């Protein structure tokens, strides 16, 4: 379904001006009022077209306690209504937020007009906070068409539809306040649209639409302590994720197997790299694609498949849209020299414990914050075993534990304690310290910083 709207770009630009003139008492009659009446008519037409495609969602609660005991789709989750939008009226497919349907197998769906039905969760993706619900339909339902979120501009007018505080079919109006918002700590893959269209609890999962009635985002959250700051997941991401859920029941993503962080100004200056470009590899997971391809701690990734990388969040998104098993070329800097390394990506989801460590910032401490075991009689000189880790040190924050064995520092295999001490002594203040460690017969890399 595509909502027809008679807005022209010229009218969209003049709308705020005419509203201002109207409020000032200048445009109460004549062409100004006639134009505003036309605008009002178009907004009413837009509401009539898009509101029937928006539904209310809540966990399905069986009608009697005995039935609920035998069949437990509810799983003890409290009722928490949200919204959803129909993207395929023939197949009864609804897209919403993952947190709206979390821990529920069945969902009560309230259609426009009040009719209730029960849907099933086809799949959800917590990393983007998206999910797809399907209901049985006798006749095709109204649905929205996807718009292209890549073409959105700050200042563009949008409408949000949802069920704030249980007030079904509520429509609000505003503009796009910002694009490509990340580090909001709402999900793993962040590339949010910021809008001042009023979004409240109950709008989660509802659509953000342009003036043509096309879906440009899924409303996902608000900042509780601020006014007029809401976030929506871009429609291009919604389309990609929902299609995978519909086809596979889950999302398949590429996995590189490195820990990453922003390139510090000190390191950027050292390798003559413009600030804000690239990401630094601070750990490489043993046995994963990056390690197999020869990537090293200290490498700076500049591009993936020709796409520039300028932040950890952007790199995570780039890798996440590449299919597992596909080979991509990484443009990197190693010791100031450019290299291109092909890497065959694995499947994200196989190493959840490692994935939690993907992006960990370096925290500077006056020293490494570790104490080595004293060499006992007959001990092998090369065995540098960590005795203790200073609480609050960067070593502790990076996950180093007593009993870990240091195998290499800054790419040099350690053959004696004296060699280790010489390497550490030669590292300048603020310089990176890249460690190869052994724990439980598994090798892994971590990065620290020396302050003095």
> Which residues are the active-site residues?
99, 129, 204
Q: What is the DSSP string of 341-367?
A: EEEE-EETTS-HHHHTTSB-----BSS
Q: How far apart are CA 363 and CA 449, in angstroms?
A: 7
- DSSP β-ladder status, 279-284 and 230-234: unpaired
Q: How far apart are CA 6 and CA 2, in angstroms?
A: 13
Q: How far apart are CA 281 and CA 258, in angstroms?
A: 6
SS3 content of the chain, % helix, strand, coil (to 5): 25, 35, 45
Q: What is the DSSP string of 90-129?
A: TTTEEEE-HHHHTT-SEEEEE-TTS-EEEEEEEEEETTTT
Instruction: Give the per-residue SS3 of 24-55.
Output: CCCCCCCHHHHHHHHHHHHHHHHHHHHHHHEE
**What ranges make up the beta strands (E) of 97-238?**
106-110, 116-125, 130-134, 157-162, 170-181, 192-195, 207-209, 215-222, 230-234
Q: How far apart are CA 209 and CA 5, in angstroms?
A: 12
């Amino acid at each position: 379904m595509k909502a027809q709207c008679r807005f022209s770009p010229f009218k969209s630009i003049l709308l705020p001006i005419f509203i201002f003139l109207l409020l000032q008492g200048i445009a109460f009659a004549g062409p100004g009022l006639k134009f505003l009446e036309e605008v009002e008519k178009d907004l009413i037409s837009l509401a009539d077209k898009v509101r029937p495609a928006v539904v209310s969602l809540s966990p399905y609660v069986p009608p009697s306690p005995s039935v609920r005991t035998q069949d437990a789709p509810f799983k003890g989750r409290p009722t928490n209504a949200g919204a959803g939008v129909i993207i395929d009226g023939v197949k009864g497919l609804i897209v919403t937020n993952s947190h709206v349907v979390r821990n529920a197998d069945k969902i009560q769906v309230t259609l426009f007009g009040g009719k209730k039905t029960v849907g099933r969760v086809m799949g959800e993706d917590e990393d983007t906070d998206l999910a797809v619900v399907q209901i049985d339909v006798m006749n095709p339902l109204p649905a929205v068409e996807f718009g292209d979120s890549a073409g959105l501009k700050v200042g563009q007018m949008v409408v949000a539809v949802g069920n704030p505080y249980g007030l079904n079919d509520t429509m609000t109006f505003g503009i796009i306040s910002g694009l490509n918002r990340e580090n909001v700590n709402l999900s793993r893959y962040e590339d949010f649209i910021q809008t001042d269209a009023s979004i409240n609890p109950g709008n989660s999962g509802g659509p953000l639409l342009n003036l043509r009635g096309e879906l440009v985002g899924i409303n996902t959250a608000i900042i509780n302590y601020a006014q007029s700051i809401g976030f929506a997941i871009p429609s291009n991401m919604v389309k990609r994720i929902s299609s995978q859920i519909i086809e596979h029941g889950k999302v398949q993503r590429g996995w590189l197997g490195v820990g990453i962080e922003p390139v510090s100004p000190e390191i950027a200056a050292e390798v003559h790299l413009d600030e804000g470009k690239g990401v630094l590899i601070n750990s490489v997971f043993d046995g994963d694609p990056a390690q197999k391809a020869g990537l090293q701690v200290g490498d700076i990734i500049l591009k993936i498949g020709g796409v520039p990388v300028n932040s950890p969040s952007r790199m995570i998104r780039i890798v996440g849209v590449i299919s597992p098993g596909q080979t991509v070329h990484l443009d990197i800097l190693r010791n100031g020299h450019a290299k291109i390394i092909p890497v065959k990506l694995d499947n994200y989801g196989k190493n959840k414990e490692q994935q939690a460590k993907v992006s960990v910032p370096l925290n500077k401490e006056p020293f490494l914050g570790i104490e080595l075991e004293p060499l006992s009689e007959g001990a092998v000189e090369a065995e540098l075993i960590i005795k203790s880790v200073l609480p609050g040190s960067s070593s502790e924050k990076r996950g180093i534990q007593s009993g870990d064995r240091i195998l290499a520092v800054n790419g040099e295999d350690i053959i004696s304690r004296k060699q280790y001490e010489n390497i550490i002594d030669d590292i300048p203040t603020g310089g990176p310290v890249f460690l190869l460690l052994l724990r439980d017969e598994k090798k892994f890399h971590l990065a620290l910083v020396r302050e003095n």
